[in-house]
Structure 1
Amino acid sequence: MNTVIEWFGLAASVIVAISLMMKNLVRLRLVNLVGSAAFALYGLLIHAWPVFLLNTFIVLVNGFYLWTMKQDSQRPETFELLELSPKDPYVEHFVDFYREDIRKFFPSFTGIPTDDPEVRLCFILRQTVPVSLVVYKKNASGEVTILLDYAVPAYRDLKNARFFFEQALRRIAEGASVVHATAEVPVHGAYLRKIGFAPVDSDEATQRYTKKL
């Protein structure tokens, strides 16, 4: 077999393998479509008809779902807040389920404070699906401190955060003027800067940020 064709088939398999490691469904299907199309061409070149037919079918399936996702993305999305007590059983279940992922962004996270009466908690609902959990405190001077701001992996496109910090927070924390947040890892600091927070100071473990409402 031609060495170039062999390398082409190997590259196609690598692209498919990479796609399967992606958490974002749109990217997964897009990259998988490219890999499957390459595999279909590889099957055609070596006259392996089962390989060609199977991967052509996969290309069509990925194309169909990408088209439906695009149609869904063009429909207006609804965002809502669901405020719950930190002691609510669903909150405990949610945190337990995502605990390991939460600690990737908040390494010092040990749990939501349930005995502090100033702690407030809400879920951001997107098409009625709980996609983000925000835990915060508000002091008497109108300053809000974010204790936890976590989005589930499939919905990390900043839309949840922009809804919360640009619209919802003014309503639920009436009179709030400034929001404080802390980043323990660089990726969370990058997220805060993208949604309008500015760094103020830091120590060995954390970078502090602030945002005016």
Structure 2
Amino acid sequence: MDVFYEVFGWIGSILIVVSLMQARMLVFRWMNLVGSLVATAYNLIYGIWPYVAMNVAIVIINAYWLNRLYREANDPDVYQVLPTPSDSPFVLHLLRTHSTDIAHFAPDFTPEPAAEDRRHTFLVVRGDEAVGVVAVREAGNGVGEVELDWVKPRFRDFTPGRFVYRDSRALPDAGFRQVRLTPHEMTDREYLRKAGFRTERTEWVRDLTA
């Protein structure tokens, strides 16, 4: 039985350590919560009360943040959309800094649009932090081609990019009545459905309220 408890304790420790290496906030919080619960039970079995108290505190902290993160995930007052010039130094810096990650989701995207393209860029922000970028190119007649819909890994589980399409006036105010995109291998189809897109032949299409 002691061997079982030792293995049980090691599992908790491993989960806590691995959680600290996670870039995604939701994954980090859940792994840390489970690891702390296991560690609490292990230390409770052996009566190591200081570590019981510490891990109980960590469990409570993780539970608080998970509740807050899930609550804020659908709050347009938390995630806001800022129309930003495509040649903004900050936007270009953000896109270049994360170019490797962006290339997985939009391999044909370049930070600087072609001279003939009319690109509209929208920053998704949480407080004072930019968490994502949506770039839309004018295709004529109020139709926009989504060139990029990218979010930092930390926030990816919360799909804040959907606020650009669903809860913001940014696209209609820019003159778009419809946006379209051609999905890539890494495109999250379920995310597109939640954002209000529908399939139309090889494209995903979303109509916008005027």
TM-score computed with the length of structure 1 as normaliser: 0.77
2:205 to 199, 206, 210: 210
Q: Does 1:67 align with 2:64?
A: yes
SS in 2 for 1:112: coil
How far is the alpha carbon of 1:83 from its aligned partner? 2.6
- Give, in whole Å, the separation in 1 of the partners of 2:68 and 2:178: 38
Structure 1 residues 81 and 34: alpha-carbon distance in aligned structure 2, compared to 1, 3 A threshold? closer
How far is the alpha carbon of 1:137 from its aligned partner? 1.5
Q: Does 1:126 align with 2:97?
A: no
CA deviation string 1:79-118 (max 9, x = no partner): 4433332222111210122112212212333433152351
Structure 1 residues 150 and 81: alpha-carbon distance in aligned structure 2, compared to 1, 3 A threshold? same
SS in 2 for 1:183: coil
The higher relative CO (CA closer than 8 Å, separation ≥ 6) is in: 2
Write the mapping of 1:134-145 to structure 2, written as runs, cut at 5 A. Answer: 134-145=134-145
1:205 aligned partner: none
SS in 1 for 2:56: helix
Q: Name the larger-Rg structure.
A: 1
Structure 1 residues 180 and 189: alpha-carbon distance in aligned structure 2, compared to 1, 3 A threshold? same
Q: CA RMSD in A?
A: 2.9
Structure 1 residues 200 and 119: alpha-carbon distance in aligned structure 2, compared to 1, 3 A threshold? same
How far is the alpha carbon of 1:55 from its aligned partner? 5.7
Figure out how many residues of one structure are paired with residues of the other and give that number: 203
Structure 1 residues 109 and 38: alpha-carbon distance in aligned structure 2, compared to 1, 3 A threshold? same
Structure 1 residues 19 and 106: alpha-carbon distance in aligned structure 2, compared to 1, 3 A threshold? same
SS in 2 for 1:139: strand
Q: Does 1:57 align with 2:58?
A: no
Deviates more, 1:126-135 or 1:23-32: 23-32
Amino-acid identity (%): 24
Q: Are the aligned partners of 2:122 and 2:164 in contact in 1 as well (CA < 8 Å)?
A: no
SS in 2 for 1:86: coil
Give the letter for the 2:58 counterpart.
V
SS in 2 for 1:149: strand
